[in-house]
A and B are shown apart, each in its own frame.
Chain A
Amino acid sequence: MTLLYGLITGLVFGFLLQKSRVIRYDKQIGALRLMDMTIVKFMLSFIIVAMVGVYLLREFGVVELSLKGTILGPNIIGGLLFGLGWGLIGYCPGTAAGALGEGRVDALAGILGMLVGASVFSHTYPTLKASVYTWGDFGKITLADLLGVNHWVIIAGLVVVYVLVLAFIERKNL
């Protein structure tokens, strides 16, 4: 059943990603060249809705958070490395699949590269584990944990920040 949910969720998500054109190379590189912020509008809209939704449902005890560990070394270095690669491929792992679905075959070259990269990573992981992964381990924490403030205060603050970012983007016609 879980497998079926995965497929259905993917179908709907792929449909929405394609309909709003955020899976396109031109949109992703457009954002990184600060020319077209379509993907940022998509992402922030997602985050605002999902953040409020998930935390609301959590108050009723029907959903749980599933946090990824905060370790400064891998989060920051890995994040930057991903970004450098993203600027070349112009797709992220999910959107590469979607771009291939709408016929963009350069995404297939990118996916093959990702498979090779995943293999290289899994064979170099022991070295990383002994080094990068030990730099600045804070465990699984949210911004609310870090600041020691009630999570709804942070959520409200973030919504304001995100809306201001979107307003700025709109004013600049990006």
Chain B
Amino acid sequence: MTNKGSPWSPYLAGALSGVLGVLSVLVAGKYLGASTTMVRAVGMVEEAISPALVETPYFQKYTLAIDWQFLFVVGIMAGAFISSLMDRSFKVQAVPDMWAKRFGTKPLPRLITAFAGGVVAIYGARLAGGCPSGHGLSGLTQMSVSGFLAAAGFFLGGIIMARLVYKGGEQ
């Protein structure tokens, strides 16, 4: 393992995050979720380019402004930044270790793959109605049938793609 610092047990961090999730519902009335923020962010960009671009039924479902979830996502970035500075695990890295082992350290293939994956993933998340936070964590917290269906899809699709990407290699 190349991890510096001392990672916390995922059981402890997960359980504490679960408490955080309950508090968020109690105090702010908000269930954790992240993918709508991508819609708001790109909507605000398109609105700035031309207001006509956001006159679509989907953009009109949302207020195109900074909201609770937008700042939640910004907070995740800042929280991870602070945490990684504190245990000195912050590292500017374009190619993850596992990827480098299999495909080498050239950044471009990794960046293109991440970009393409982002396009497909968010299209799917918006179609499904949420991502692993909104459907996975919050959906299963509430025992929503949609959460079980989506989460099964997330992992099934993910396992299939990971096999395709890494087929033939032991590492």
The answer to whether B143 and A142 have CB atoms under 8 Å apart is yes
Whether A82 lies near B131 (C-beta < 8 A) is yes
> Main secondary structure on chain A at its contact with chain B?
helix
CA distance A23 to B13 in the complex (A): 12
Q: Which of A80-132 contact B (CB under 8 A)?
A: 80-107, 109-123, 125-126, 128-129, 132
Contact A92 B13 (CB under 8 A): no
Count chain B CB atoms within 10 A of each CB in A32, A94, A120, A123 and give the residue with the most. A94
Known: A70-B146, A90-B96. A39 touches B79 (CB 8 A): no
B79 contacts which of A15, A57, A71 (Cβ < 8 Å)? A15
A-B contacts, CB under 8 A, total: 525
Interface centre among B68, B69, B157 (most CB of A within 10 A): B157
Report how far A106 CA is from B126 CA in the complex, Å. Answer: 22
Across the interface, name the chain B residue whose C-beta is closest to A47: B140
Interface residues on chain A, number (Cβ under 8 Å): 124
B9-A20 in contact (CB<8A): yes
Nearest CB of B to A125, in Å: 4
Q: Which residues of A contact B18 (CB under 8 A)?
A: 45-50, 53
Tell whether A141 pairs with B34 under 8 Å between CB atoms, given A57-B26, A89-B121: no
Which residue of the partner chain A has the closest CB to B2?
A: A26
What is the total number of residues of chain B having a CB less than 8 Å from a CB of chain A?
131
- B76 closest partner in A (C-beta): A14
CB of B43, distance to nearest CB on chain A (Å):
7
CB neighbours of B156 from chain A (8 A): 79-80, 83
Q: List, in ascending order, chain B residues with CB within 8 A of A143's CB.
A: 143-145, 148
Task: Collect the chain A residues with CB atoms within 8 Å of residue B48's CB.
Answer: none
Q: Which 5 A-B pairs have the closest CB atoms?
A: A10-B75, A79-B153, A83-B157, A113-B118, A87-B161
Which B positions have Cβ atoms within 8 angstroms of A? Answer: 3, 7-32, 34-35, 37-39, 41-43, 45-46, 54, 56-59, 66-84, 87, 89-99, 107, 110-166
A-to-B contact residues, CB < 8 Å: 2-26, 29-34, 38-39, 41-51, 53-54, 57, 62-72, 74-107, 109-123, 125-126, 128-129, 132, 138, 140-146, 151, 154-155, 158
22 contacts between A and B (CB under 8 A): A5-B68, A17-B80, A18-B80, A33-B162, A42-B13, A50-B141, A51-B142, A53-B21, A66-B142, A71-B146, A81-B153, A82-B122, A83-B154, A93-B131, A102-B80, A109-B112, A112-B115, A113-B119, A113-B121, A115-B38, A118-B123, A141-B145
